[in-house]
């Protein structure tokens, strides 16, 4: 083209830039951004007049003569030529028979719509006239969208009608101002103010709203579209709503889209793209200009969860929020995203166009006007309102968002419109976004099978078993001790009588502080037979924690050993009781009915025991600094037993045709220990494994083989170790239960494909009686499965409404297994055990804090935590509890604990900044060890000048330094053969070399699980017995070596570091 041919060169609007970017990206695809308009012309047609009217349009409007070229700086500019040819095509289909004619027309329309333009070659507009019959024509205008927007196309159509009537004469039509006026206005806009407005508008958004994973494939996937016409009475009601409340139709559709997207994504605060006209009244004559002035901007629809808001109030709020942004509509999406600090915001789009009714002037009778703009969104809904007709044009990307989901979403949007129009004064939370049937189906999905009726008191379960089983059969095995069913029943009954005689009443807490043994099982069942609440206290816990648990549960009686009874201090009121001791026996003998081993009669108890009474209490980590006791009922445990019997135990026993041997690996203070005790209640043999067996993977696998153990239950992380040690080889268990934490895909597959193995995955918070949702380990990948009988699982959104399948939500559990609450903590109980909106009779549901979703196959998938809680080796840990205990140390003024790659990391602000250099990490570790169990001891301590905070005062996690980022290199080399071996073991377990004797095991990524393995390896290599606790106390090779030799060296000091500079473990004091 010659310079003389050029009328002007214009810059691009942000939207034009975006469209051209996609055009360049997608060079071979169909014309994605073609704008297409097709109208039926009825009556006799003067083709020559129409053709000259079209030519006149080209002459009148610069945009019809524009193309896109790169300048010397390689920037794309819009070049307008003085003259361009008219691209005119005329096809006659009138001679064809009907089905063929329609087919040809459709093909022709499709081809015209998708044919690409060469963007450097004007014009970027084609006209096609199809003769269907002598008095019926289809007229098609197809333009590259970046030169012409939808509003302009209607302007052109109107002008075309006038020009046609006037034989191509433009007199009476207003002269359009030059496009340059618009671009000049655009350049003058205050970008800084706009950026600020958008930043404010998007502040606090939880995340992008995505219907499908993002990625370039989105632009390449084809799309399909379908139309939805709103019922006429709905349109009438919507018109009344908007008129009566001063709302725009656009606002109502935006709100409806927001709610529908919220349901599709499980979010109450969503954002999607919206089209704005960009036609600022500040540009004189803009109403007569044709061009591309549109922009797409984010539309945020936030549901206010903090207080009741009616639909009408929400609509008014959204309209006001949107109105404030109008002066800032000129800013491009790229700049908006940058201002908001989000590279990605949404993948759904809503446009609203009010068409001024087709320009049906007498001489140019147009009807059936169809428009079509393809977009690159996962889902795009174009609302086209024309008079009393409102159509939704829904486009969805194939392979990313299928027709079924698009239909669902459109139906939900219409349902919201219906609700808004019918009852604008109800709270937003009550708008039925889901169809009633869908909601019902989701609730039914979460409903476990009906619970089977049976005894609902645990002592009855055991007594019934003891009465039917051959008394000589082995019940409990621990080391060399074997207890028969007859003997066990007798001892349990005696224990119950001794407890009742000691004054224990129904529901009263009785602590059991015993070393792991057959006696532990006797005590457990004895406490329950007495009608009391069993409170296991782990003897291996630090004394301070034991003291706390005893003080908190305030038991009248503590069942313990003679040795502990004599030596320990007992908090006020608690009385140690040694079962079968002369004192206990004597006391019981004083009771009239207490002289035998026979079954405990309910009348012997101090009150009537009911299924709703507490059966046991398990302490779990509490975020406020102290563990909390979860009080579980008899009916909960009985319900769990019914499930275990019916679905796990009996099928396994039937398959093998004999009694099975179940092994208790879990700590008795861990509620999962009940799973194996249930096998005992079902008449099978319970093997209580000792600490030295259960803590050593090879020993455990050996034990399973040697004792022909059938049933093993462990946490997945423990299972990984056991599998590595050969658990699943020949002679392994026939039932493997995984529980306590998420199972990864590798382990899942390994268990699923082990022939003959019945694998189970048990999910459940302690608050819902051990297990609530269960799955057989088979099929494709990890799921948590289906609720156990009697239990209901709800996956809910932020309004406590069921979320559709495939959408993440919060998991809530209801049914007989829901615990009574937290011992002595009414506030905390009322927070987590909340009213169940799906049950009429004032029932409660437990808020698990876990995120989950229903798969389309109707099983639950676990998606992580909604809060800070972490799981270490199946133990539930509230990092807040550790932080609270840390700040109790005089050395620490502030602390935050977070999970890291290699265990927990404690970030500290030390109390005395000057004395900090002398502070000792070992001192802090010791402080924690006297108060917390091993699995709660952080593996790294990182001192900081201050905890980094976000603008709103919360801990800024992203600003915390990585504890492994800048470690101090290895120190002294080993001096002895023993230190050499230890350095080798460190290197082996930590996977790094070299190791110096002053390197801290935990600072190098060691965690409690690895520490357990270290003690195992030390036992094998050096023949020395060390506890995990010792490793925590002496984490360097030098210290460990000294411990092994019986002496303790001085330990290095802890240094403060400035944030994000270097990491400190105790070794860096050198």
Output the smallest distance, CB 774 to another protein, in A: 25
CA–CA separation, 42 vs 40, rounded Å?
6
Output the smallest distance, CB 957 to another protein, in A: 17
Residue 776, classified by CB atoms within 10 Å of its CB into exposed (0-12), middle (13-18) or buried (19+), is: middle
User: Nearer to another protein by C-beta: 472 or 953?
Assistant: 953
If DSSP codes are grouped into helix, strand and coil, which group holds residue 370? Answer: strand
Between strands 870-872 and 875-877, the pairing is antiparallel
Output the smallest distance, CB 533 to another protein, in A: 10
Residue 300, classified by CB atoms within 10 Å of its CB into exposed (0-12), middle (13-18) or buried (19+), is: buried
User: Nearer to another protein by C-beta: 617 or 722?
Assistant: 617
User: Nearer to another protein by C-beta: 22 or 606?
Assistant: 606
User: Nearer to another protein by C-beta: 305 or 320?
Assistant: 305
CA–CA separation, 1001 vs 924, rounded Å?
16
CB 1054 within 8 A of CB 1069: yes
Q: How many CB atoms lie within 10 A of CB 592?
A: 7
Output the smallest distance, CB 709 to another protein, in A: 39
In 3D space, the residue among 873, 875, 866, 852 whose CA is nearest the CA of residue 787 turns out to be 852
User: Nearer to another protein by C-beta: 809 or 1035?
Assistant: 809
User: Nearer to another protein by C-beta: 592 or 1046?
Assistant: 592
User: Nearer to another protein by C-beta: 393 or 767?
Assistant: 767
Output the smallest distance, CB 305 to another protein, in A: 6
Chain Cα centroid distance, residue 220: 28
User: Nearer to another protein by C-beta: 261 or 1026?
Assistant: 261
Chain Cα centroid distance, residue 2: 60
Output the smallest distance, CB 671 to another protein, in A: 18
User: Nearer to another protein by C-beta: 545 or 853?
Assistant: 853
> DSSP string spanning 675-741?
HHHHHHHTT-EEEE--HHHHT-HHHHHHHHHHTT--EEEE-HHHHHHHHHTTTTSTT--SEEEEESS
How many residues are recorded in the chain?
A: 1070
Output the smallest distance, CB 875 to another protein, in A: 23
In 3D space, the residue among 255, 341, 266 whose CA is nearest the CA of residue 302 turns out to be 255
Output the smallest distance, CB 605 to another protein, in A: 8
CB 166 within 8 A of CB 177: no
In 3D space, the residue among 1066, 1069, 900, 1060 whose CA is nearest the CA of residue 966 turns out to be 1060
Output the smallest distance, CB 793 to another protein, in A: 17
Output the six-digit token pair for 440.
């019902």
User: Nearer to another protein by C-beta: 622 or 1049?
Assistant: 622
CA–CA separation, 688 vs 694, rounded Å?
9
Output the six-digit token pair for 96.
């064809």
User: Nearer to another protein by C-beta: 362 or 953?
Assistant: 953
User: Nearer to another protein by C-beta: 9 or 305?
Assistant: 305
Q: What are the residues binding another protein (CB under 8 A)?
A: 206, 266-269, 304-309, 427, 429-430, 507, 605-608, 610, 612-614, 631, 797-800, 808-810, 820-827, 829-844, 847, 849, 851, 866-867
Output the smallest distance, CB 608 to another protein, in A: 4
CB 514 within 8 A of CB 536: no
User: Nearer to another protein by C-beta: 152 or 829?
Assistant: 829
> DSSP string spanning 408-425?
HHHHHHHHHHHHHHH-TT
Output the smallest distance, CB 761 to another protein, in A: 24
Output the smallest distance, CB 612 to another protein, in A: 6
Output the smallest distance, CB 211 to another protein, in A: 16
Query: Where do the DSSP E strands lie in 716-829?
Result: 735-739, 758-763, 773-776, 786-787, 792-796, 809-814, 821-822
> DSSP string spanning 586-644?
HHHHTSTT-S-SSPPPGGGSSS---TTSEEEEEEE--TTSS-EEEEEEHHHHHHHHHHI
Output the six-digit token pair for 1064.
């400190």
């Amino acid at each position: 083209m010659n310079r003389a041919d050029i009328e002007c060169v214009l810059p691009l609007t942000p939207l034009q830039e975006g469209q051209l970017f996609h055009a360049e990206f997608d060079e071979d695809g169909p014309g994605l951004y073609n704008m297409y308009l097709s109208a039926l012309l009825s009556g006799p047609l003067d083709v020559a007049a129409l053709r000259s009217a079209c030519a006149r349009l080209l002459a009148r409007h610069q945009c019809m003569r524009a193309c896109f070229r790169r300048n010397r700086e390689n920037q794309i500019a819009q070049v307008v030529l003085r003259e361009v040819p008219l691209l005119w095509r005329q096809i006659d289909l009138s001679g064809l028979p009907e089905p063929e004619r329609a087919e040809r027309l459709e093909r022709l329309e499709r081809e015209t719509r998708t044919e690409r333009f060469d963007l450097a070659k004007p014009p970027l507009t084609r006209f096609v006239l199809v003769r269907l019959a002598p008095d019926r024509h289809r007229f098609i205008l197809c333009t590259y969208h970046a030169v012409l927007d939808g509003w302009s196309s209607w302007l052109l159509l109107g002008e075309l009608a006038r020009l046609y009537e006037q034989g191509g004469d433009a007199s009476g039509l207003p002269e359009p101002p030059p496009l340059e006026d618009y671009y000049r206005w655009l350049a003058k806009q205050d970008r800084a103010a706009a950026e600020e407005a958008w930043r404010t508008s998007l502040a606090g958004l939880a995340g992008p709203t995505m219907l499908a994973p993002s990625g370039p494939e989105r632009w390449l996937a084809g799309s399909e579209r379908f139309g939805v016409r709103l019922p006429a009475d709905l349109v009438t009601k919507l018109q009344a709503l908007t008129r009566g409340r001063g709302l725009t139709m656009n606002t109502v559709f935006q709100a409806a889209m927001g709610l529908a997207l919220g349901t599709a994504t499980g979010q109450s605060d969503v954002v999607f793209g919206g089209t704005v006209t960009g036609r600022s009244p500040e540009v004189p004559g803009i109403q007569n200009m044709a061009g591309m002035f549109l922009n797409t901007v984010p539309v945020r629809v936030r549901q206010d969860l903090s207080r009741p808001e009616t639909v009408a109030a929400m609509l008014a709020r959204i309209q006001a929020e949107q109105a404030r942004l109008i002066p800032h509509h000129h800013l491009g999406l790229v700049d908006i995203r940058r201002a908001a600090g989000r590279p990605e915001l949404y993948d759904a789009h809503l446009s609203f166009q009010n068409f001024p009714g087709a320009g049906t002037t007498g001489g140019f009778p147009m009807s059936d006007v169809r428009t079509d703009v393809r977009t690159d969104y996962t889902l795009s809904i174009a609302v086209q309102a024309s008079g009393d007709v409102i159509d939704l044009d829904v486009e969805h990307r194939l392979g990313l968002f299928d027709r079924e989901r698009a239909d669902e979403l459109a139906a939900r949007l219409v349902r919201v419109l219906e609700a808004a129009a019918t009852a604008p004064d109800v709270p937003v939370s009550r708008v039925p976004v889901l169809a009633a049937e869908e909601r019902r189906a989701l609730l039914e999905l979460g409903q476990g099978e009906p619970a089977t009726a049976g005894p609902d008191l645990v002592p009855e379960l055991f007594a019934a078993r003891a009465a039917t089983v051959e008394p000589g059969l082995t019940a409990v095995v621990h080391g060399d001790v074997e207890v028969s069913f007859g003997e066990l029943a007798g001892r349990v009954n005696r224990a119950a009588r001794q407890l009742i005689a000691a004054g224990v009443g129904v529901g009263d807490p009785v602590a059991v502080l015993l070393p792991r043994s057959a006696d532990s099982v006797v005590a457990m069942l004895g406490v329950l037979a007495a009608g009391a609440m069993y409170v296991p206290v782990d003897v291996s816990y630090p004394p301070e924690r034991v003291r706390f648990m005893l003080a908190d549960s305030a038991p009248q009686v503590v069942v313990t050993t003679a040795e502990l009874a004599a030596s320990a201090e007992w908090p006020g009121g608690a009385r140690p009781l040694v079962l079968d001791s002369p004192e206990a026996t004597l006391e019981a003998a004083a009771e009239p009915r207490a002289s035998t081993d026979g079954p405990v009669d309910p009348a012997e108890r101090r009150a009537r025991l009911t299924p709703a009474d507490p059966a046991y209490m398990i302490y779990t980590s509490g975020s406020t600094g102290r563990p909390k006791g979860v009080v579980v009922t008899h009916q909960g445990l009985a319900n769990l037993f019914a499930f275990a019997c019916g679905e796990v135990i009996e099928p396994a026993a039937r398959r093998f045709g004999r009694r099975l041997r179940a092994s208790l690996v879990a700590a008795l203070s861990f509620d999962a220990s009940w799973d194996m005790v249930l096998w005992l209640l079902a008449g099978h043999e319970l093997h209580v494994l000792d600490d030295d067996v259960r803590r050593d993977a090879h020993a455990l696998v050996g034990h399973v083989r040697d004792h022909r153990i059938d049933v093993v239950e462990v946490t997945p992380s423990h299972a990984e170790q056991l599998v590595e040690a050969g658990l699943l080889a020949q002679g392994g268990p026939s039932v493997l239960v995984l529980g306590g934490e998420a199972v990864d895909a590798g382990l899942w597959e390994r268990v699923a494909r082990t022939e003959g193995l019945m694998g189970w995955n048990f999910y459940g918070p302690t608050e819902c009686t051990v297990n609530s949702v269960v799955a057989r380990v088979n099929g494709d990948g990890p799921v948590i499965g289906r609720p156990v009988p009697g239990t209901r699982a709800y996956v809910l959104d932020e309004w406590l409404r069921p979320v559709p399948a495939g959408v993440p939500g919060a998991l809530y559990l209801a049914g007989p297994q829901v615990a009574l609450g937290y011992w002595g903590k009414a506030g905390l109980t009322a927070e987590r055990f909340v009213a169940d909106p799906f049950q009429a009779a004032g029932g409660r549901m437990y808020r698990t804090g876990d995120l989950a979703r229903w798969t389309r196959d109707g099983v639950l998938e676990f998606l992580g935590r909604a809060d800070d809680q972490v799981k270490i080796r199946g133990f539930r840990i509230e990092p807040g509890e550790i932080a609270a205990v840390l700040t109790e140390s005089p050395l620490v003024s502030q602390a935050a604990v977070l999970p890291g790659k290699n265990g927990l990391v404690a970030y500290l602000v030390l109390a005395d900044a000057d004395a900090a250099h002398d502070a000792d990490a070992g001192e802090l570790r010791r402080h924690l060890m006297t108060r917390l169990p091993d699995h709660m001891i952080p593996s790294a301590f990182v001192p900081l000048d201050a905890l980094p905070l976000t603008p709103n005062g919360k801990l800024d996690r992203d600003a915390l330094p990585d504890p492994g980022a800048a470690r101090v290199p290895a120190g002294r080399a080993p001096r002895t053969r023993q230190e050499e071996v230890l350095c080798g073991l460190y290197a082996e377990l930590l996977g790094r070399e070299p190791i110096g004797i002053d390197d801290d095991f935990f600072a190098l990524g060691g965690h409690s699980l690895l520490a357990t393995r270290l003690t195992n390896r030390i036992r094998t290599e050096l023949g020395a017995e060390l506890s995990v606790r010792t490793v925590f106390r002496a984490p360097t090779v030098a210290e460990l070596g000294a411990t092994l030799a019986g002496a303790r060296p001085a330990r290095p000091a802890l240094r403060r570091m400035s944030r994000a500079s270097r990491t400190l473990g105790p070794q860096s004091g050198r």
